[in-house]
Structures are given as structure tokens and as C-alpha cells.
A and B are shown apart, each in its own frame.
Chain A
Amino acid sequence: MKGRHFRIHPVLIFILAQLAWLSLLGIWIYWYVSNYIIFNQVGKRLSPQMIPKSTNVIALVTGLVLLVAILIGMYLIFIYLNRQLNMTKLYDNFIGNVTHELKSPLASIQLYLETLNLRDIPRAKQKEFIELMIKDAHRLKNRIDSILEISGIEQKKVAHTYGVYTADAIIRTLIGESVDQFKLPAKAVRIEGKAPCPCVVDRDALKIVFDNLIDNAMKYSKEPASVTVHLACTPKLVVIRFSDRGIGISPKEQKKVFHKFQRIYDKDIPNVKGTGLGLYWVKEIVKTHGGKISVFSEGRGRGTTFIIELPIYLESKRRYINRLLKITRKHKERQNDDV
């Protein structure tokens, strides 16, 4: 669980809350018994003014403080459990979606294999089926890779290979590759502006970012989909504005789109399949580049703009970026040694 409030383990909070509660009980019992003994000893001769008031006040204040501590403890446990519950629900959805995403191409491959095995099929048809199987095998591989990569990013196990590139050139190249990969018409993605500044980029990782954003724009747009990528450099940042004319995202959903396992369900939009990991993955990749990503949409039917900001090499986040380059150098040296 992320966030400062949840660094203390909830079980510890629970134990402390119980200790507070027991201490409160002990103090109040002690207070009551000692007063009772005094009353018994002094009997009817006791004058009410003789009872020490300070004990009452201390017991009362301590009791209140401990009670508040108990309440806070319980509250934190409640919040934690609530978040866990939500995460579990999202995780269940994720498992359902992943199952679907993996089983569909597998079902298709199995169907064609059984068809080829059981029927006499003309050669041309056989070739068509084999091509469809290859397509499904690629789909399956990509989905498995994306799930494994996310796990790697979270555990910081992915060996990134960063290099210094001119932002304009690398972004145009990678977007061009994505357009080719999705077999989109050249007009579908238009690149405007210029970003002739240097930045440190993991080429493969940034390709994943553009692939996901372009894929999303296509899925959530009424045909023909159209994407405009605007490039600019500020004194410290490369700014990439990725705008589509798709169905847009409501303000409430904008806060959630980068959350893990999060998917938007809406009757008016095609129930586009996915794992709910795409934009989470995008955010994690941008974050490891020392950058940040945000989303903006005026609402449903008004398109969506994703804004990616990456630090300019030697102008912003210098130490962090140099560390990335150092890790890459070490990784390459290790590879060379292995060879």
C-alpha cells in the first residue's frame, strides 16, 4: 500500500489501539478502586473537599487522549481495509480480463489447429488459417510480455537501456514505427511543433508508451480516428501533447485512468477489452524516465489529451538522469563481460 499514512503495518496499529484501550481500562479501574478505598477508610467523616481533584482530572484527560488514539487507530485500520477491499475487487476484475485476454487467442489457435487436423482444406485456405494463427500467437506473446513487464517494472528488475537522443527525432521515429505497426493510414497521426532538445530515453520503453496511447486513441475513437502529437521544449522539459478526437474521459474518471487494474465501463462506449494495465504501465515508464504524465479532457465526446513531460538532459533532474545512464553503462559492461 502506498502513501505515508500506511507505512505502519495495520496489525501494529491494531495492537497499539488495543494497548491504549487496556491502559484506559486499567487507569479507570485503578481510579475507581483507590477512591473506593478512601471512601471506605474515611467513612462518614469524609468531607467531599478532601478528595484529591487532580487524580480525577489526570484520569479524565488521559482517558480522553487514549480514547482518541483508539479511534484514530480504528479509523486507519478501516481506511486500510477499505482500500484493500477495493484493490481486491479491481484485482478480481483484472484476473477476469487477463483470463479473457489470454484465452481468446489461445482458443483461436486451438480452433485452427483442430480444423487443419480434422478437415481437408485447400492450400490457400490453409495459408490463411496459418497466418491467423501467427497473428494470434503474436497477440498472446504481447499480452504475456505486457503482464510480465509490469511486474518487472514494479520490482525494478527491468534492465532499461537509456541513451541520449534528440527528442524531436526519437519521438517522430517511434511514433512512425507505432503507426506502421498498427497499419494506420499516414494521416491518422499528425505530428506538430518541434522539440530539438536532448533527452534521456529508453527507446523500447518509450515505444510502449506511444503504442499504448495510439492504441487507446484508436479504440476509443469513432472512425476514422485521428491523433495529433504536439512537441515543444520549455527551458527544462520536453512536452509531448497527445490529443485524440475520441470519446473523451469524464473529470471523475480522469483521476483514475492511471490506476492499476482500472478500466472505464460505460454503456455508450464499445466495451473495449483490456487488462486495465496499459495506462498504469505508461505512467510507470514515464516516471522511471524522471518525467510525469497527466490527462486532460473536457468531458465525454470531446477528445482526450495526454501530456507527457520529460526532463531535458543536463537541464533538469541531472543527478537522476545521470544515474539512469550509469546503470545502462554498467548493464552494457556486464553484457560485454558475459560475451
Chain B
Amino acid sequence: MTMSNENPFNGSRILLVEDEETLAVGLEYNLSEEGYVVTWVDDGQKAIDCFASQEFDLIILDIMLPYYDGFEVAERIRETSPQMPILILTARTAAKDRVRGLEIGADDYMTKPFHLQELLLRVKGMLKRKTWYQSATQEQPVYRFDDNEVNFENLSCRSGKRTFRLTQREAMVLKYLIEHRGKVVSRQELLENVWDINPEIETRTVDNFIVRLRKYFEPNPSKPTYIKSIRSAGYMFTTPEDG
């Protein structure tokens, strides 16, 4: 069990949106013991209001909530804060719910009942990734290659005349590849650093993200020039300038 004095993310502010009081009390206790500052609200409306008026580092969000459900809350938060880490914690196990949650930009999806240690590790992993991403993008928030432009702060992109927005995870994968430009990055490495080792996520997930990124930026996604596949090794980001 992580002790609060060992936690590098001590003092991180977590918004806990959970309408089951008994569960919320237990979660609040455990997160506080880890050194986080927890604000608990019990419906979707309060979550939106609270998020608008206070600063948070991470959100733990239930789906079945009074007034606004978790999906709506996540969408609203994403509109103003594309980088906010959102962990959906719900009893809904259907694949369609999981897909919807991740599609609207949740960074992780856990189902109830859950293991306490796993939850705490995931929270820590998300905060770690957020810190890495923020420090990595602070120096160079906008990255250009050929006719493409990526703004890692607001996640907006331009490829030729086409504009679109990346999800947080897509941006993280791309950022990691760009940071290791010219070097081979294995799928395992991406999983460890962008997903923070998630046993539920297979290496195929990484491939799916690469396919999406190629569709966004490559002139011909089947013959990629920027995100190249390196047989039996992983992926490598290069630009024509790299030769």
C-alpha cells in the first residue's frame, strides 16, 4: 500500500463524482490517506458546477448519476479541458458503455466492484502521465512537420487544410513518438508509458491508435512516411528532414 509521504503526487486535487454515499465515503478516506485532496459531489449537476469553479488534477466519475449522467459530465469537461484525466468508475460493464466512455475521452474505465490497490495505482498512473505530458508540452506546445500542425495543449490539429482534434490518449501516443523521434519505440514501451501497464489492454490497442494517427496525418496511411512500422520491434516517428 502506498503511503502518503511516498506519494509524489501528494496534494493533487481529485474530484470524486459518486452518488452512492457509502462507496464515496470509503473512496474519499482511501484517496485522502494517499495524500490527495478530495472533493466529493453526488450528482452530475454539482460535478459540472464544481469543475467550473475549482481547479482539479483528476476526476473519478460514476456514470449513473442524478441530473446529468457521467457521459454528459465527461463531454462537458472535455469541451473546456481536453487534458483533464478522467477515470470512469461504474457498475456498467457492457462493452458499448466502455467504448462510449473511452470515445468521449475518458482516460480509463473501471468497473465495480474493483480492487482498491488497482484503483489507487491507476489514479497514480494517470497523474504521472498528466505530469509527464504537461512538462513535455510546456517547452514546445505546437509541433509542426511538413504540412501538419499539432497543438498539444488544446489538442487541435491541422493536416493540409483539414482541421480536427485528437483525444488525450492519441495526443499522448503521438507526443511519445515525437519525443523519441528517429528511435524505435516498442508496443510494450508505449503501453508502459502511455497506458501505465494495464493488463486489460492488449498490444493490439496500440496498433489501433497508430492506425488512427496515420489516418490523421499520413498522405497515404497504407504506406506511412511519418509513423513507420519496424518489423518485430515497434514503431518509429520520422520526418523527411531526418532522412
- By a beta-carbon cutoff of 8 Å, the part of chain A in contact with chain B is 96, 99-100, 103-112, 114-115, 118-119, 125, 129, 132, 135-136, 267, 270-273
Given contacts A103-B112, A106-B112, A107-B114, 13 further A-B contacts (CB under 8 A): A100-B64, A100-B91, A103-B111, A104-B20, A107-B112, A111-B30, A111-B113, A111-B114, A115-B26, A115-B116, A270-B43, A271-B64, A271-B67
Question: What number of residue pairs across chains A and B have CB atoms under 8 A from each other?
Answer: 74
B122–chain A nearest beta-carbon distance, Å: 14
Do B26 and A129 touch (CB < 8 A)?
yes
Tell me the dominant secondary structure on chain B's binding face: loop
Do B69 and A271 touch (CB < 8 A)?
yes
B87–chain A nearest beta-carbon distance, Å: 14
B2–chain A nearest beta-carbon distance, Å: 10
Query: Given known contacts A114-B115, A118-B117, A273-B64, is B23 in contact with A99 (CB within 8 Å)?
Result: no
Chain B residues within 8 Å of A129, by CB: 26
A136–chain B nearest beta-carbon distance, Å: 5
Chain A residues within 8 Å of B111, by CB: 103
CB closest chain-A residue, reference B118: A114
Q: Choose among A99, A118, A132, A136 the residue that contacts B1 (Cβ–Cβ < 8 A).
A: A118
A96 to B90, CA, bound (A): 11
Tell me the dominant secondary structure on chain A's binding face: helix
A137 to B113, CA, bound (A): 14
Do A270 and B67 touch (CB < 8 A)?
yes
Do A119 and B1 touch (CB < 8 A)?
yes
A125, A129, A135, A271 interface centre (most CB from chain B within 10 Å): A271
CB closest chain-B residue, reference A135: B22
Chain A residues within 8 Å of B172, by CB: none
Chain A residues within 8 Å of B146, by CB: none
Chain A residues within 8 Å of B30, by CB: 111, 115, 119
A244–chain B nearest beta-carbon distance, Å: 18
B1, B91, B115 interface centre (most CB from chain A within 10 Å): B91
B27 at the interface (CB under 8 A from A): yes
Q: Please report which residues of chain B, range 219-235, place their CB below 8 angstroms from some CB of chain A when the two chains form the complex.
A: none
Chain A residues within 8 Å of B91, by CB: 99-100, 103-104, 107
Do B93 and A99 touch (CB < 8 A)?
yes
Do B116 and A96 touch (CB < 8 A)?
no
Chain A residues within 8 Å of B113, by CB: 103, 106-107, 109-111
A109 to B111, CA, bound (A): 15
A195 to B8, CA, bound (A): 68
Chain A residues within 8 Å of B33, by CB: 119
Chain B residues within 8 Å of A108, by CB: 20, 22-23, 26
